[in-house]
Chain A
Amino acid sequence: MPETSTAPKPERVDVDKQRQAEAPENSNRSIGGRVKNVLNRVREKVSPKYAEQVRTQARADAQNLSDVRAMIAAGGDMDKQAALVKGFQERDTKPPKPSKELNKAVSSETATRMKFLQDLEDAGDDREKLREIYRREHLRQQGLLPMSENKTETPDSPTDATDQYNTTRAAKIAESVYRITAKSLGAATALIPLTMGIAAAIQNQSDVAIGGYAAGAAALAGIGEYIRYEYREKVIEHKRNLITNKHQLTQKHPKKFY
Chain B
Amino acid sequence: MQINYQVLILKILEAINYTGDKEKFVKDFVTNTQLQTFAALAETLSPEKQKKLAEDTVSVQEDQEKALNILKEYFTEEQIQKAFEEAGIGEIKGLLESVKNTLNEEQKQSVVSLFKETSPTNNT
Contact = CB atoms under 8 A, between A and B. Distances in A.
Interface residues of A, number: 66
Interface string B29-53: 1111011111100110001001100
B16 A162 contact: yes
Interface string A171-215: 001101100110111000111111111111110111111111111
B92 interface: yes
A76 B24 CA distance: 9
B119 A215 contact: yes
Interface in A155-176: 155-166, 169-170, 173-174, 176
Contact of A202 (B2, B84, B111): B84
Given A162-B18, A205-B81, A208-B4, A184 B13 contact: no
Interface of B is mostly: helix
B95 A162 contact: yes
A75 B27 contact: yes
A174 B119 contact: no
A222 interface: yes
Interface string B1-41: 11111001000010011111000110111111011111100
B67 A214 contact: no
B32 A169 contact: yes
B64 A72 contact: no
Interface in B46-79: 47, 50-51, 54-55, 57-58, 60-68, 70-72, 77
Q: What range describes how many residues of B lie at the interface?
A: 35 or more
Given A161-B98, A190-B58, A208 B81 contact: yes
Contacts of A180: 39, 42-43, 50, 54
Contact of A184 (B29, B54, B89): B54
B77 to A, nearest CB: 6
A221 interface: yes
Contacts of B13: 162
A246 to B, nearest CB: 32
Interface in B74-112: 77, 80-81, 84-85, 88-103, 107-109, 111-112
Pairs of residues from A and B, 4 with the lowest C-beta to C-beta distance, nearest first: A211-B118, A197-B67, A193-B60, A221-B96
Given A169-B91, A180-B50, A195-B31, 6 more contacts: A176-B35, A176-B39, A185-B58, A193-B58, A202-B80, A208-B88
